[in-house]
Structure 1
Amino acid sequence: MPHGATKRAAESSVDAECSSRAWSYWPDFEDLSNELARLLGAAQEGGSTVSECLLTASRIDPQDEDNWYREWKKTADASRERGDTAFRGGHVLTAQSNWLRAVNYYQAAAYPFDAADNRLQGVLARMRSCAHHYLEQLTPAAEVVDIPWLDDYSLQGYLLPAPAPAGLVPVVICIGEPGSRKEEYLYKTARYARDRGMAMLAVDLLGSGTGAQFEKVAGRSDLETAIGSVVDYLLARGDVDERRIAILGDGAGSSFVARGVALDRRVAAAVCDGGIWDLHERAFLMQRVASLHCGVAAMSRRSSIARYIKCPVLVTLGERGWLEKDHVTMLFEQIRDHHRDIQLKIFQRSETAAAQGHSDNPTLANEYIFDWIADRLAADARHRLGRRTQA
């Protein structure tokens, strides 16, 4: 390549990086801009349309919290009504598409509010209604399930069966950081599981209501016990392959998933932070008394998460996420001293999926994640078949 072309390509790459870093629809409101970016990224997965998102954003005054709520609710209501009309006319596929987008728009409308706000309860009730309508029309039929956890607090999940179940089926559990909602997995990950012959159980920690009781359990130090309860539920059904249960812990706050996997040997493969966030917090505290490098080494020796996780683990992060790439790599190397079957994938700015939670390109991340899960579950099945043959 001529020197001039090389220089122009390099400059273009730098410009693209700067643009991706600097893009903000409302520069003074980073949280709302990030939420809009998430909504736009969901368009390629069927969770929104770009035009609806941009039209809604054009009507929003970010300084007016009520305005944000009203405009996203207006867009969500319109999508829900289109879905209902299509369903009455016998157009099930169109109804499902509109209900699915309404789910995401209602979630956006609820974004600024806490659990005590009556407006939140209203939009979440509508969101769940749309989700349930969508699930009812799937083929094979999906289920809304209650999962026992605490004595007075059960979890709710959406179980989407494998497309052509024959015997016991593999399942991937999708669960986000505390406070995230399971409804987003209906457009975000469901098709990736289905296309690879897996059932999917989407679950959250918000309980079986609209989340008003969540504040009572959010601060518990044993959130990881929810993972064991979810696995207990799956195994009690009788239609799940107990050797092919994978888990996707979505979000930066998913260390409770890593802790749950460390306590539960029944999980065959896990996509989570592998304890990186937990180790990061420990290292941050250690910086007050020692250098970062010494702190990480000391805390990794004391960390029980990596030491006790026995299944294969995949950690995925975006280069533009909250943690710096070099810092993450250093933490990962410390964890790998205790757990060799762990893999780190950092999505670079140059390939997208580099934002926090891969919100700028969830497709790229999900393709990688679900291919990894499928390979791991298939490898485990081949290993078990080999042992039976030898016997």
Structure 2
Amino acid sequence: MERAARWQLKSDLATIRERASAFLNNPVPAYRDMQTTTQWSSEWIDIAEVHSQFGEERINRGNSDAATEAWLCALTAYEVARRLITGSDQLAILVAGIERCIQRLEQSTKNRIERVRIGAGEPPELEALYLRCGSGLHKQAVICISTEQEPGAILFSRLLSATFNRKLSLLIISHDDLLHDSRHEVNMQLSSCLEYLSARPDVDPDRIGVYGDGISSALATDFAASDSRVAAAVCDGGLWSSSRSSASIGWLSGAGNAIDGLAMSSHRSQRIRQLRCPVLVVMGSRGLVSASEAVSLQAHCMAECIDLELAMAPIIRASGDEIENFVSLDDRTFTWLETKLGTSQALTSSESQFD
């Protein structure tokens, strides 16, 4: 495994992400001598550890750019391992490695990474991680919400290597830090995040999007529907809310599938019109959206000239588990966000259809 890790060490960030994506698309042919996911995760932890050590060597020689790239490579490898991991011992090594890389990146990236607190009083303040775009010419920003029971730092570590060289700033918050007693409370907290970004000199308040990972895609939909300042949303398009509403109607009335279908169609139409910004709906194992529901939603939006696109998360099976190709999906998602937030023309056209 050490020789394989050393070979991977020759990779730059783009190359290691390509190799990670190829592995996640078809892991068995990529490592024919490995029999279990435990061996696969060990291999990727080794690759991450070697890159992390390489970063230490480079920073000690005063080469912060090379050190930064090495730590970003390490975070990509750690994320592959996290998708495969089976034992608590490996998990402890992985979490410690991720935390170490983030701390070293905070020191090496000239204040591009910040730990911030948002809001005070009611609702309670949120702790967040912020990645500032490396170019002063681009002021787009995205509020990113981790999935349920996943710390914001885990999402941050994954998105660091996916977005570090993009024209975006990221504000990462944890799903579990949000108040969930009511939809209104969550939206108030997310609005505080948007206001925080709007007040920063490195962010254009007209170019702020929201991204909900996994189950948080429903939170992103609610927020985009409640706050017209959101300029683009990666969310579930209201499908979870529609499904829940139609199920409740069917249970209360004892109605059949035909009535349920009509109720869902009506709710879907009402909900999607509340989203006054371009929307990307992600289908996959981590999300709430099935392919058939998403395709129906897209057809409905096309008929009404609503700007909605779909993204499918590539999935493979290993030892009975579904493993998502996060590299491919993140590239698709953040390319879309970069494009939609990169021009005010997209915002103007999306708003005009509701006038």
Q: Normalising by the residue count of structure 2, what TM-score does the alignment of the two structures yield? A: 0.68
Larger CA deviation: 229-238 vs 277-286: 277-286
Alpha-carbon displacement from aligned partner over 1:202-229 (angstroms, at most 9, x marks no partner):
40316xxxxxxx4x86965544444213
Report if aligned partners of 1:173, 1:203 keep a CA contact under 8 Å in 2: yes
Q: For 1:220 and 1:113, how far apart are their aligned partners in 2?
A: 33
1:308-329, Cα deviation, whole Å (9 max, x unpaired): 333333335479x985544322
Are the aligned partners of 1:251 and 1:357 in contact in 2 as well (CA < 8 Å)? no
1:98 matched to which residue of 2?
A: 70
- CA drift at 1:244: 2.1
Aligned to 2:170: 201
* CA distance in 2: counterparts of 1:224 and 1:118, whole angstroms: 38
Q: CA deviation at 1:264?
A: 1.8
Residue of 286, 294, 308 corresponding to 1:328: 294
Q: CA deviation at 1:305?
A: 4.3
Measured after TM superposition, the shift of residue 259 of structure 1 is: 0.7
Whole-angstrom CA distance in 2 between matches of 1:145 and 1:130: 15
Aligned counterparts of 1:44 and 1:164: Cα–Cα separation in 2: 23
Greater CA deviation, 323-332 or 156-165? Answer: 323-332
Matching residue within 252, 270, 274 for 2:233: 270
1:103 partner letter: L
Q: Which runs of structure 2 are paired with 1:68-83 in the superposition (5 Å)?
A: 71-83=43-55
Pair 132,247 (structure 1): closer, same or farther in 2 beyond 3 Å:
same
Residues 88-237 of structure 1 mapped to structure 2, 5 A cutoff: 88-111=60-83, 120=91, 123-138=94-109, 141-148=111-118, 154-165=126-137, 169-178=139-148, 179=150, 181-192=155-166, 194=167, 199-205=168-174, 214=176, 221-222=182-183, 223-237=186-200
Give matches, 1:242-391, under 5 Å. Answer: 242-251=205-214, 253-283=216-246, 289-292=254-257, 294-299=259-264, 301-302=266-267, 305-317=271-283, 324-332=290-298, 341-345=306-310, 355=315, 359=326, 361-362=328-329, 363-364=331-332, 366-375=334-343, 377-380=344-347
Looking at structure 1, the residues matched to 292 and 82 of structure 2 have their Cα atoms a distance apart, in angstroms, of: 35
Taking structure 1 as reference, are residues 269 and 367 closer, same or farther at Cα in structure 2, changes over 3 Å only? Answer: closer
C-alpha root-mean-square deviation of aligned residues, in Å? 4.4
Question: Residues 233 and 279 of structure 2 are in contact (CA less than 8 Å); yes or no, is this contact kept in structure 1?
Answer: yes
- Cα distance, 1:379–1:152 mapped onto 2, change above 3 Å: closer
Q: Give the distance between the partners of 1:307 and 1:380, measured in 2 at CA.
A: 15
Distance 1:242 1:322 in 2: 29
Deviations 1:355-379 (A, max 9, x none): 597647334554344323324x344
Distance 1:357 1:52 in 2: 12
Where 2:230 maps in the other structure, the secondary structure is coil
User: What residue is the counterpart of 1:240 in the other structure?
Assistant: 203
Report deviation, 1:103. Answer: 1.7
CA distance in 2, matches of 1:77, 1:358: 21
Letter in 1 for 2:309: L
Task: Identify the residue that residue 34 of structure 1 maps to in structure 2.
Answer: none
Distance 1:359 1:107, change over 3 A: closer
Show structure 2 runs of 5+ residues with no match.
1-12, 316-322
- Contact 1:183/1:202, CA 8 A, preserved across alignment: no
What CA distance in whole angstroms lies between the structure 1 residues aligned with 2:255 and 2:350?
45
Q: Distance in 2 between matches of 1:51 and 1:359?
A: 8
